[in-house]
Structures are given as structure tokens and as C-alpha cells.
Amino acid sequence: MTAEELVLAQEESAMTAPEPVTLGRGRIVLRRFLRRKLAVAGLVILVLMFALAFIGPYLSSWNYKDQDYNNFLTGPSATHWFGTTQIGSDVYAQTMRGLQKSLIIGLLAAVLSTGVAGIVGATAGYFGGWTDRVLMWFVDLLLVLPSFLILAITSPLFHGRTWLLFVILLAAFNWMVTARMVRGLARSLREREFVTAAEVMGVHPLRIITRHLLPNMASLLIIDATLNVGGTIIAETSLSYFGFGVQPPDVSLGTIIADGTDSALNYPWLFYPAGVLLILTVMAVAFVGDGLRDAMDDAAGTASSTSTPGDAA
């Protein structure tokens, strides 16, 4: 145990001085998370992005559906803060609308897909046997069936439904590879002694999965979810071909970027606002993910690195 940890321990005991309070894992992780500057910064950025996405549209007099027939493809100005598009739409209003859509779609689909992957993979890996075979057979089936084909076939059914269905579809075609990785990890974790210890204590199998297996692969799950956020925001555009979710005149960051890419050099305002916001979003999510991972994983160094330096004697 290092001197810094001692300091940390003393801090902790000082905080809880009169009657030592036993904190659960959640509280400890939260406390450690809040100690990480970068992670908190990421969280703040995310909150600001949401604020921008939902308050931003009211700051400008333009609506994302409006078209200004006097201004086609004009650069940023006092009336059109981010300029206008080929058909005279206000880029600022479109970007704000796009941010709204993309934040919700990206975060929700990422969490959903990682969650399904974690639960299915861990269940298959932990129970083994027939559970494993059936679940993995299903995963393999989804992997080999071309998802676009299924979408093309089923798209008439879903046409014009809510965006929530769209989120579910995005997640549904994204979780299988992770599920296979999780299953592999679960199979090796199952052999670890702490799982055996929980089993002989009589802990319920589902509780073992949620309480012991999944937290021990938190790094993988968090990284997966982080990558998924950016991935789904972009992937969403390709699904738009099939008439799901975001349809013109509605926009998302993905569609704005897709439309603006061709003219990025000539008319940069079509592309950059959405691009920068996307990068900011993914970065903020990555910081939060990193912080969460470090907070869960108590590697001796990181736990104390943000505790008062200099006190370490």
C-alpha cells in the first residue's frame, strides 16, 4: 500500500469520522468518478450539449423547416448564424435539430446495444451448455443474415413509425460481435475463484451475472458503448435510405454531415458546425467512459492520483 493510499484512506476515514459509514460500490464509484477532472468535464460538456440542443432552437428566429428564398448557400451572417443551405434552410436551426436527434439516438442506441450484448453474452458464457448453444446460434444467425436485407424487406412494416423503433433497430444490428466477446470473457471469469465463492454462498445465478461478471468486464463494455455512440450517429444515415426515423425535412447530425461532405471545401459552413458538434459529443462520451472505467477499476495508482498530492510523506 502506498503512502498516497494511506492519505486517501485517512481522508476517507476523516470524512466519516464519528460513525464509519459503509458505502456501497455505487457510492464509492460515484465519489471516485467525481474526483476525475476530465471525466467531470466530459459530463459537463454532455449536459451543455443537451442544453444547447433543446434551448438553442429558441435563440434563433429560424425553424429547421423554414426556407429563406432570399439566401441560397450564403455564408454565416447576422441573420443566418451558420449560413444557409442550397435550398435556403438555416444551418444553425438544422444543426440544433440534428443535435437533438443524434444525441438521443446515439446515446440510447449505444447503451441499449451494449446492454443487450452484456446480458446475452454473460448469460451464455456463465450458464454454458444448452443456454450457450441456443443463444450463440441466435447471435450467429443475426451475424450472417445481412441486416440491410432484412431492413429492406421489413421496411414497409415500419415506415413512418416513431424514432424509438429506429433506435431499437439500430441497436439490434449492432450488439452481436460484442456479445461474442462478452461470452468469451464470461467463460473465463466463470472459472475464477470469486465466482465459485459466490456460488457456494448460494448467490442467485442472475445476481452473479449482474454483480460479479458484468462489473469485471466493465472496461470492455464501457469502451464498446463509447465507440457505439459515434458509430450509431453515423450509421443512422445509412438506415435513413430505407425510410426509417430521420426523414427530410427532419435532420440529424448524420444526415447533415452526409449532405455536407461533398461541399466541405467550397461551402465549409454546411459541414463544420455539425462535424464539430459530433466530435465534441464523442469526445465528451469518451472522457465520461474513461472516468467511469477508472472509477470502477481501482488500479492503485489511479485511485490516489487525484488525491491531494504533496501530503504524501
Partner 1 sequence: MSDDAVLEVTDLHVSFPGEKGRPLAAVRGLSYQVRRGETLAIVGESGSGKSVSSMAAIGLLPTNAKVTGSVRFRGRELLGLNDKEMSRIRGAGIAMVFQDPLSALTPVYRVGEAIAAAIRVHREVTSDAAMRRAVELLELVGIPDPARRALAFPHEFSGGMRQRVMIAMAIANDPDVIIADEPTTALDVTVQAQILEVLATAKQATGAAIVLITHDLGVVAGFADRAAVMYAGRPVETAAVEELFAAPKMPYTAGLLSSLPRLDAGRGVRLRSIPGAPPSLAELGAGCPFAPRCAFAVDLCRTTEPELLEIGQGRAAACHRTGEGLDLMAGPSGDSGLADQDSDTAPEAASDAEGAPTEPEAPAKPEAAAVAEPIVGAEPVLTVRDLIKHHPLTKGSIIRRRIGTVRAVDGVSLDIAAGTTLALVGESGSGKTTTVMEILRLRTPQGGSISVLGQDLEALNQGRGVRRRAQPVRAGIAAVFQDPLASLDPRLPVGDLLAEPLRTHGHGKTAGRVRELLEMVGLEASHANRFPREFSGGQRQRVAIARALALEPRLVVLDEPVSALDVSVRAGILNLLADLQRELGLAYLFVSHDLAVVRHVADRVAVLNLGRIVEYGDADSVFEDPRHPYTRALLSAVPVPDPVVERQRERIVLPGDPPSPVVLDGDAEALRGCRFRSRCPLYAALEKPEARELCESTDPALTPVGDADRSAACHHLDAWVPALVQSGTVA
Binding residues for partner 1, rule: CB under 8 A, are 1-3, 5-6, 9, 12-13, 16, 20-25, 28, 192-194, 196-204, 207, 211-212, 215-216, 218, 296-301, 303
To partner 1, the closest distance from the beta carbon of 40 in angstroms equals 21
Least Å distance between CB 10 and partner 1?
9
In the numeric block, the cell 429558441 is attached to 58
Smallest distance, partner 1 to C-beta of residue 218, A: 7
Nearer to partner 1, 26 or 248 (CB): 26
Q: What are phi and psi of 262, to 5 degrees?
A: -60, -35
Rounded to 5 degrees, what are φ and ψ at 191? -80, -10
Contact 270, 85 (CB under 8 A): yes
Of 143 and 203, which has the nearer Cβ to partner 1?
203
The angle subtended at Cα 108 by Cα 104 and Cα 113, nearest 5°, is: 150
By C-beta, is 156 or 215 nearer to partner 1?
Answer: 215
89 three-state secondary structure: coil
Q: How far is the CB of 290 from partner 1 (least distance, A)?
A: 17
Least separation in angstroms between residue 267's CB and partner 1 is 50
- Residue with smaller CB distance to partner 1, 21 or 157: 21
Give the Cα separation of 277 and 194 in Å (integer).
44
| C-beta of 68 vs 199, nearer to partner 1 | 199
CB crowding 219-251: b at 16 or more within 10 Å, else e = ebbbbbbbbbbbbbbbbbbebbebebbbeeebb
Amino acid present at 160: G
- Comparing CB distances to partner 1, the nearer of 55 and 197 is 197
Q: Which is nearer to partner 1, 21 or 149 (CB)?
A: 21
Residue 103, Cβ density class (10 Å: 0-12 exposed, 13-18 middle, ≥19 buried): buried
Dihedral of CA 92/97/103/109: which sign? Answer: negative
CB of 195 to partner 1, least distance (A): 8
- How far apart CA 234 and CA 230 sit, in angstroms, is 7
CB of 207 to partner 1, least distance (A): 8
> Residue holding cell 462520451?
285
Report CA 166 to chain centroid distance, whole Å. 16
